[in-house]
Structure formats: structure tokens, C-alpha cells
A and B are shown apart, each in its own frame.
Chain A
Amino acid sequence: MTSTVNGTDVKHSTPDGEERPLLEIKDLKVDFTTQEGKVTAVDGVNITLYRGQSLAIVGESGSGKSTTAHAIINLLPGSGRIAGGQILLDGQDISKASKKEMESIRGRKIGFVPQDPMSNLNPVWSIGFQVEEAIRANGIATGRKEVRARAIEVLKQAGLQDADRRLKQFPHQFSGGMRQRVLIGMGLSADPQLLIADEPTSALDVTVQRVILDHLESLTRELGTTLLFITHDLGLAAERAEQLVVMYKGKVVESGPSLEILQNPQHPYTQRLVAAAPSLASRRIQATSHGEEAAGAHELGTEPATTTDTIDLIATAEARAEAHEAAMAQPPAIVIEDLTKVFKIRGSGDFTAVDKVSFEIPKGTTTALVGESGSGKSTVAKMLLKLEDATSGKILVGGKDLASLTGKELFDLRSRMQPVFQDPYGSLNPLRNIGNTISEPLVTHSVGDRASRRARVFELLDQVSLPRTLVGRYPNELSGGQRQRIAIARALALKPEIVVLDEAVSALDVLVQAQILRLLADLQAELDLTYLFITHDLAVVRVIADHVCVMQKGRIVEAATTDEVFENPREQYTKDLLAAIPGANLQLGA
């Protein structure tokens, strides 16, 4: 069957001696069967990829980008099925290949690097066993010694030093970056013509992400492997791939050379994406720092949930800059002095998570606490919120020392300081409806009666631009962004002065993230809020923060105004972080 398809397709795709693409996807359609019936996840996707090229599929969650990639190697989950179209690998249609045929293609012709390095290695087997298993499965080498030699070679290639010693170790002894290297090594172990990488670095810190991507790039170039990768980050895609495919709701809305698309996006969705990508926006601020966009900033206050306009982060950032100067004269809302937190770890002594951290947050402004995972930034937030006790040091909120508060005083203080957490799926009680969730702070602090509380809930829903009809509904019906709005509404219920945003936008899609960031900026201006904004993403900092504290291993290594940090970073670590923002070294025409 395949041979006849193969035969006809050779003729078809090379009518006048043109090079045959390595991968050609024609009108691909993928259906999922759900309880409600058929859902088309990928609809009429066309992709052409030539040897040695690199191509990125960009899109938000649910756009069908991963499904497309999984369809190529026939790893569709559960009820997924290719319902139409062709996937031509070197002229041969593999969309209808049998299980057996597919097994010989996977690994040997098409390598795959999965998304999550933490769950894609089996914790009970050594790294060596798993790499050797992949090598044996692809029949590259036979015989113990040969397989072993190849495994060492693969790991060395993937950039692991002393690979022969590493073979005996287990996944938990590897950091996330090292695990991803192993997975990349396994993907490339059979020297495939095509490597598919599904969000290969989205679970990693930015600096690690950069190293891994650099390595992947040089490795595929060296081996001449064609690279197809999937990402939600437009900046990263444009920086790493020659070709870009933008997907939206299962369809390709725009495709072509990366730079051309970034500089001259044609489809309104791509335009939206380019405008909202924080990494790109922060570049463009420098280019057009006094452009006319600032004038448009005031018109952006219309309902974000219903707007179909592009969300322009630059404008938001410009508006912020003007507002904050006046606030600097007042006494600081929060003063943190020599704050230290030591965790006692069973068996291995003490671990200093936060080490003599000092900073101030002026009233009505935003201070961003930036750092990679494990830098202690969230621990600072928890101590500030009194969810965790400080080992030593002082936290003054509105001039009052947190440590000396009585129970009653702490209870009162809680109404003036509220958090919003990262995980939109974990921050709302799934069994309580939206109205009860938002009014809980009011009930707890005995504010008003039933009717006035209900009125306040409506007011808060208006403030976060959600319909009032949500009052009787439960969180499971809401998207991540909407849940985050509810969490913000709950935080604002008691009219606090301070809001601690712990990675509050990190789990959201770019467009939704931009929307929430603008909502936060609007609310700050309207309610004179002070924000402590905790994030790992420097790109977001640029558009929201007035001051930045960069944390590394429990210490603040650099603290300055946002502009200073971005334009003139002093510490090497800050420079590394800035350089690691995907898309940071893209030169756009603007």
C-alpha cells in the first residue's frame, strides 16, 4: 500500500525536478471522540519542510500544535485519529502506516523529544539502561559492548560530561536540564532525518533553556538533522527557527519565514500575538521608547474580556511609567530588612532558602522579585504574607513589624495584604461557587450584610471584567485566565493596599497573560495598589514593574529600577538572565 502511494507521490511532488521536501503535511485533519461527539483538533493543516531546515509551530494551548506533532509520529493520545490528509515523509505517506511500519520509522527516521523532562524518564531504571534501550530498539547497535559504547557516545554528544559514569546514575540524580539533554540524546540516538521537539524547554529555567536550545541547534546543524519544534513562545520560535507556522484553533493562520512574519504579520491573530509577546515587547520598548503608542494607552481601559483589538503591552508599560513617579515621595508600604529563612532538612542539616534579603516597596508601585526556581523568591512572599515564619530579620508593613503582631492585629493586617497565586487550577476551591469564593474574605472579616456583600461581589466581578452571571457557577467551567481573574477579585474584596502576585501570570497563554497584566496595571492605577510581583520571567517584568530585585540562591544580587536593570545590568547573573529571554537578540525593524 505504501509503495504505491510512494510511487504516485514521487511523481506528484517533483513535476519539474524540484527537490522533494523531507516532510510534507497536506490537509491534515485530526479528530478526537469525546462524550459530546467528535471534536476536530487539527483542521486542514499544511506544512512543508525541507532537509536541514528548522521549523517552529507556534500557538496557544489548545491550538492543535502538539496534536499535529503527535499525528506525524502516530502517537495521538486515546481517542485521537487522523481523519484526513496526508503526511509525506520523503514522499511516503506515513499517516496510514501500520503499527509495525510506524515502529521502524519512529526513532530511526523521526526522533522525538518530549515536553516534560521530569516525567519522561522512568525513575526506577538507570539513565544508561534507558538510553541503551532506545538504541537497541532502533537497532543501531547490537551486542552489549557496542550498545554501551553508542550510549556513551550519545550522551557525550548531548553534552553530558563523564558520560560513562553518568550511565549508572538514576533520573533523580539529574537536574531538569540534564534530563532534557538525555532525552535529546535519545531522540537523536538513531541519527534520524527529522527531530520533533515538543516544547523541549518550557519546564526549564530561562538560562538553562538557552543552553539547551543552543546545544540542540548546534547538534542538529552538525548532524544535518531537520528540526521541527513546538512552542508557545513566539520570540523563542522566531529566534530558533527559519520557518514559522502559527496555529490557531486547529488551523494554520500564517506561515512563512520567521523574520518576515514577525516584522510583517498579516493575519490579525498573528498581529495580536506579536503585540502581546512580552519578550518582543520589551525589545520594542527600547526601539520606540517615546513613540506615539503612549498616547493610545488611555483608550485601552475597555473591557478586556470582550475586546477583539490587539493588546499592546508597550502602551501599557508606557502608561505605567508616567503614573509611578508621583508615588515615590510617600513612605514605603513594605520594608524588608535582613530577612532570612532557614529550613531544617532531615539528615542533611540546614538549608538557607532566603539569605539576608533587604528591599523596600514604595506605596502604589510594583516591585518585581525575579529569580529562577529555587532562588527563594516565593519564600519571601510567604513570609511577607505570614504564611511562613521568618528565621530572622524584619518585615515592616505600613510601619508595623510583622513579628510583633498580636493575633487580632495580624487578622486586621490580612485584610490589607492579599495574595494571588500561580496555579489557576489550584487557587480556587473547586466545590465552592464563584460568589462564595469572592465573598469569603468579606464573611471572614464580617464586612456588611448579605445584600451589601452581594453588591460588592458584583462590583468586583465588574472590576475584573467578568460577567455577573458567574456568581452561581463553579471554577471548573472557567479557563485559566478567568480563574486568575476570580483570584484577583477575591484578593481585592477587602480593598487591600498590598497585593502579592506570586507567579500570577506565569501559567497563562501569552494573550491571556497580556490581558491580565493590563488588568493589574489598570487596577493599580484605579485603587492605588502596591504590588510585589514574583516571577521567573524577566520579559514580563519590563511591562509591569517599577523596581526589580534579582534573586539568586536566596540572595538579592541586584536591585534597581526596571529601566536601569534592563539598560545597564551590573551583575553577570542579571546579564545572563536578560540574554536568555527568548527573542532578546532579534532585530526587528520597528
Chain B
Amino acid sequence: MPSNTRPAQAHFVAPIDETPLVAIDSVKAEGKPTNLWTDAWRDVRKRPMFWISSALIVLIVVVALFPTLFTSVDPRFCQLSLSNQGPGDGSVLGYNRQGCDIYSRIIHGTSTSLSVGLIVTFLVASLGIFFGALAGFYGGWVDAVLSRLGDIFFSIPYILAAVVIMSVLSQYASVWTISLAIGIFAWPATARVLRAEILRVKNSDFVMAATAVGVTRLRILIRHVLPNSIAPVIVITTISLASAIVAEATLSFLGVGLPSSTMSWGNDISQAQVDLRTNPQTLILPSIALSVTVLSFIMLGEVVRDALDPKARAQR
């Protein structure tokens, strides 16, 4: 096609009233101040899963603290004559093989599961944060030593380690020892996550700026680096609470957990094994309590993860 048939390119100028100029780089700051945490809260608030899981967790905590509000039946008052009887006669869920009230035992066992979960989580979080922060922030030989130490603990599955510890310490078995046995081998995962995050954050320009101002290393770690790398630890911690509860049940089920005198869902599940075929509800009911508790913490962890990770938020 000959180019002389082309119309000449006109010099187009948009009418100014249709394209008004805005001041260069003007400040738009309205409403409440926001940062990562307030944004996360705003996001979390809109999600039904957050409210469902929180409501369940609140309920579980209340049950654990005040079991007598929910049942007046003594879980230790067992009559063999009632062995494996179904619900009715003032019993909501029936009786187990020993003739103990299943509902009452579930209610009273809540505090055991929850305390193990909380103690383990506290242990894991504090050990993990302490070692992870030091290793990531100070680097060099500190990192080398702490990371290898973590690797050693990491290489042993914590359930296996807890089984070994608990069988050795069987005469001291209590909520505290079982928590210690689980927690002492479960922290490296947290430490690793935090270390990686700190390695990322400590190279930020704002850390360099703080150094150039003369802020001390420790203060930089606490003020600038830790707050910006703690989000994944919070997520991991919520989920580790759930797995600690599972671990306690597992150990009790294997017979190396809490003494049978302590009321716990794991013990009840373990003792119900023999009746699995004849009276499955004696095993299933405490298992449901366990699942609901674990599920609510996992759900909460997932909501928190989505809220703290803007990328995950964008994909939703």
C-alpha cells in the first residue's frame, strides 16, 4: 500500500478539563493508620472460618477451665454394672467399659490436652525463637553451631524421641514431663523458619539505616528485625499447638503417655481399643473431641497465615 494515502498523524491534545492535573505525589492518608497487623485483622474479621475456629477455641478453653459448668457427673465414679451402656438415664453419651460416664470424661479430659498443647507450644516457640533469632541474626559460628544443633534434634522424629523419653521416665509421667518430651524435639522447625526469615529481613535497608544511626545490634534485632520476621512463626505455632495435642494422644494411646489415672482423651481412646467392634462409640466420641480441638487450631492457623501473607490474600 502506498504510504501517501496515510493521513498525517495529528498532534492530539486531550482537553484539560477531561484530564485534570493532580498535584505531584500528593499525600493521601485518610481513615485509620494501617500496618501489617491492622490489615491482617481487617482481613481476618471478614472470614467466617476465623469466627468459627475462634468460637470453638474459646469454648474449649472454657471447658478446660471450668469443667463442672458442663457436667456434674464425677468422671471417676465408675460402676462396672453400667459397663458399655448406651445413653439415657442422665447420661448424655453413655458409659465406657469401666462404667464411667463418657461425656464427663471427655469434658474433664479437655484440660489435659489443652495444657499439653499450650506448654509444648510455649516451649517450642521460646526455644525456636531464641535459637532461630540468634542463628539468623548473628550468623557466623553462632549460626553454624546452633543450626547443626537444630539439625541433630530435627533428624530425630519428635514422636519417636518422646516415646523413648517417656518410656525411660515412665515413673515421672505427668503433663509436664510429656510436654517437655514433645517440646524438646519439636523446636527446630520453628527455629529454621525464623532463621530464614531473619536472614531476609536483616539485609533490608531499614536495618542498614538503623546501623548507620548507631543503634546497637541487640536493639536492632528486637526493634526492627524480629517484629518483621515473626509472622510465619505465629502461623507455625498455631499449627504446632494442634500437633502437640495429637502427640499427647498418640503417646497415651501407645501406653507411654500419661498415667492411666490422669484423665486424657488419649488414655480413653487407648482403653477403648478392645471395644472397637462391639462399642465403637467409646473410642469414636473422645476421638471426635480430639479432632474438633485440633481442627479448630489448624483452621485458625490457616486463617492467620492467609492474613499475614499478602500474596496468599491476593490469590483468594
Q: State whether A423 touches B26 (Cβ < 8 A).
A: no
* A466 proximal to B (CB < 8 A): yes
Q: State whether A511 touches B25 (Cβ < 8 A).
A: yes
Q: Which residues of A contact B6 (CB under 8 A)?
A: 18-19, 50
Query: In the assembled complex, how far is the CB of residue A254 from the closest CB belonging to chain B, in whole angstroms?
Result: 5
Q: How many residues of A contact B (CB 8 A)?
A: 78
Q: State whether A251 touches B18 (Cβ < 8 A).
A: yes
* A112 proximal to B (CB < 8 A): no
Task: Tell me which of B35, B211, B212, B213 contacts A431 (CB under 8 A).
Answer: B35
Q: State whether B212 touches A306 (Cβ < 8 A).
A: no
Listed from nearest, the 6 A-B pairs whose CB atoms lie closest are A256-B11, A427-B205, A474-B35, A414-B214, A421-B205, A266-B13
* A365 proximal to B (CB < 8 A): no
Q: State whether A266 touches B11 (Cβ < 8 A).
A: yes
* B1 proximal to A (CB < 8 A): yes
* B85 proximal to A (CB < 8 A): no
Known A418-B213, A470-B29, A474-B34; judge A387-B13 contact (CB<8 A): no
* B27 proximal to A (CB < 8 A): yes
Q: State whether A473 touches B213 (Cβ < 8 A).
A: no
Query: In the assembled complex, how far is the CB of residue B247 from the closest CB belonging to chain A, in whole angstroms?
Result: 33
Q: How far apart are the CA atoms of A481 and B209 in the complex, in Å?
A: 17
| Most interface-central of B7, B16, B24 (chain A CB within 10 A) | B24
Q: List 15 A-B contacts (CB under 8 A).
A: A19-B3, A78-B314, A248-B19, A268-B21, A305-B25, A308-B21, A385-B212, A386-B212, A426-B206, A429-B227, A444-B213, A445-B214, A467-B29, A476-B36, A476-B39
Q: State whether A440 touches B210 (Cβ < 8 A).
A: yes
Q: Which residues of A contact B206 (CB under 8 A)?
A: 426-429
Q: Which residues of A contact B212 (CB under 8 A)?
A: 385-387, 414, 417-419
Contacting A at CB under 8 A, from B206-227, are 206, 208-215, 223-224, 227
Q: How far apart are the CA atoms of A272 and B21 in the complex, in Å?
A: 10
Q: Which residues of B contact A478 (CB under 8 A)?
A: 27, 29
Q: Which residues of B contact A256 (CB under 8 A)?
A: 9-12
* B228 proximal to A (CB < 8 A): yes
* B48 proximal to A (CB < 8 A): no
Q: State whether A490 touches B209 (Cβ < 8 A).
A: yes
Q: How far apart are the CA atoms of A307 and B36 in the complex, in Å?
A: 32
Query: In the assembled complex, how far is the CB of residue B222 from the closest CB belonging to chain A, in whole angstroms?
Result: 12
Q: In the complex, what residue of chain A is closest to B6 when comparing beta carbons? A: A19
Query: In the assembled complex, how far is the CB of residue A308 from the closest CB belonging to chain B, in whole angstroms?
Result: 6
Q: State whether A254 touches B205 (Cβ < 8 A).
A: no
Q: State whether B19 touches A304 (Cβ < 8 A).
A: no
Q: How far apart are the CA atoms of A487 and B208 in the complex, in Å?
A: 12
Known A267-B14, A419-B209; judge A474-B9 contact (CB<8 A): no
Query: In the assembled complex, how far is the CB of residue A231 from the closest CB belonging to chain B, in whole angstroms?
Result: 19
* B261 proximal to A (CB < 8 A): no
Query: Could you count the A-B residue pairs with CB atoms below 8 Å apart for me: how many are there?
Result: 166
Q: Which residues of B contact A419 (CB under 8 A)?
A: 208-209, 212
Q: State whether A481 touches B14 (Cβ < 8 A).
A: no
Known A418-B212, A431-B228, A440-B210; judge A252-B12 contact (CB<8 A): yes
Q: Is the interface of B mostly helix, strand, loop or mixed?
A: loop
Q: In the complex, what residue of chain A is closest to B226 when comparing beta carbons? A: A431
Q: Which residues of B contact A428 (CB under 8 A)?
A: 206
Task: Tell me which of B2, B7, B16, B223 contacts A268 (CB under 8 A).
Answer: B16
Q: State whether A254 touches B14 (Cβ < 8 A).
A: yes
Q: State whether B205 touches A267 (Cβ < 8 A).
A: no
Q: State whether A512 touches B33 (Cβ < 8 A).
A: no
Contacting B at CB under 8 A, from A1-21, are 17-20
Q: State whether B18 touches A476 (Cβ < 8 A).
A: no
Show the binding face of A for B, using Cβ within 8 Å.
17-20, 46, 48, 50-51, 78, 243, 248-249, 251-257, 260-261, 264, 266-269, 272, 304-308, 311, 385-387, 410-411, 414-415, 417-419, 421-423, 426-433, 440-441, 444-445, 466-467, 469-470, 472-474, 476-479, 481-482, 487, 490-491, 494, 511-512, 515
* B23 proximal to A (CB < 8 A): yes
Contacting A at CB under 8 A, from B1-56, are 1-3, 5-7, 9-14, 16, 18-19, 21-29, 33-37, 39
Known A248-B19, A479-B25; judge A255-B205 contact (CB<8 A): no
* B260 proximal to A (CB < 8 A): no
Contacting A at CB under 8 A, from B85-140, are none
Q: How far apart are the CA atoms of A104 and B5 in the complex, in Å?
A: 30
Q: How far apart are the CA atoms of A430 and B35 in the complex, in Å?
A: 7
Task: Tell me which of A48, A251, A417 contacts B14 (CB under 8 A).
Answer: A251
Q: Which residues of B contact A441 (CB under 8 A)?
A: 213-214
Q: How far apart are the CA atoms of A431 and B16 in the complex, in Å?
A: 40
Query: In the assembled complex, how far is the CB of residue A452 from the closest CB belonging to chain B, in whole angstroms?
Result: 18
Query: In the assembled complex, how far is the CB of residue B269 from the closest CB belonging to chain A, in whole angstroms?
Result: 44
Q: How far apart are the CA atoms of A269 and B24 in the complex, in Å?
A: 10
| Most interface-central of A414, A440, A512 (chain B CB within 10 A) | A440
Q: State whether A19 touches B1 (Cβ < 8 A).
A: yes
Q: Which residues of B contact A481 (CB under 8 A)?
A: 25
Known A419-B212, A444-B213; judge A472-B205 contact (CB<8 A): no
Q: In the complex, what residue of chain B is closest to A484 when comparing beta carbons? A: B25
Task: Tell me which of A311, A411, A433, A470 contacts B214 (CB under 8 A).
Answer: A411
Q: State whether B26 touches A440 (Cβ < 8 A).
A: no
0/1 interface trace, chain B 170-207, chain A, CB 8 Å (1 if under): 00000000000000000000000000000000001110
Q: Which residues of B contact A267 (CB under 8 A)?
A: 13-14, 16, 19
Query: In the assembled complex, how far is the CB of residue B275 from the closest CB belonging to chain A, in whole angstroms?
Result: 53
Q: In the complex, what residue of chain B is closest to A433 when comparing beta carbons? A: B33
Q: Which residues of B contact A512 (CB under 8 A)?
A: 24-25
Q: Which residues of A contact B22 (CB under 8 A)?
A: 249
Q: Which residues of B contact A251 (CB under 8 A)?
A: 14, 18-19
| Most interface-central of B7, B25, B33, B214 (chain A CB within 10 A) | B25
Q: Which residues of B contact A252 (CB under 8 A)?
A: 12, 14
Q: State whether B27 touches A482 (Cβ < 8 A).
A: yes
Q: Which residues of B contact A474 (CB under 8 A)?
A: 33-35
Q: How far apart are the CA atoms of A431 and B204 in the complex, in Å?
A: 13
Q: Which residues of A contact B224 (CB under 8 A)?
A: 429, 432
Known A267-B13, A476-B34; judge A482-B25 contact (CB<8 A): yes
Q: State whether A427 touches B209 (Cβ < 8 A).
A: yes
Q: In the complex, what residue of chain B is closest to A385 when comparing beta carbons? A: B212
Q: State whether A257 touches B209 (Cβ < 8 A).
A: no
Q: State whether A476 touches B208 (Cβ < 8 A).
A: no
Q: Which residues of A contact B10 (CB under 8 A)?
A: 256
Q: In the complex, what residue of chain A is closest to B7 when comparing beta carbons? A: A18
Query: In the assembled complex, how far is the CB of residue A257 from the closest CB belonging to chain B, in whole angstroms?
Result: 6
Q: How far apart are the CA atoms of A181 and B51 in the complex, in Å?
A: 53
Query: In the assembled complex, how far is the CB of residue A471 from the closest CB belonging to chain B, in whole angstroms?
Result: 10
Q: How far apart are the CA atoms of A255 and B12 in the complex, in Å?
A: 5
Query: In the assembled complex, how far is the CB of residue A95 from the closest CB belonging to chain B, in whole angstroms?
Result: 21
Task: Tell me which of A249, A307, A473 contacts B33 (CB under 8 A).
Answer: A473
Q: Which residues of A contact B9 (CB under 8 A)?
A: 48, 243, 256-257
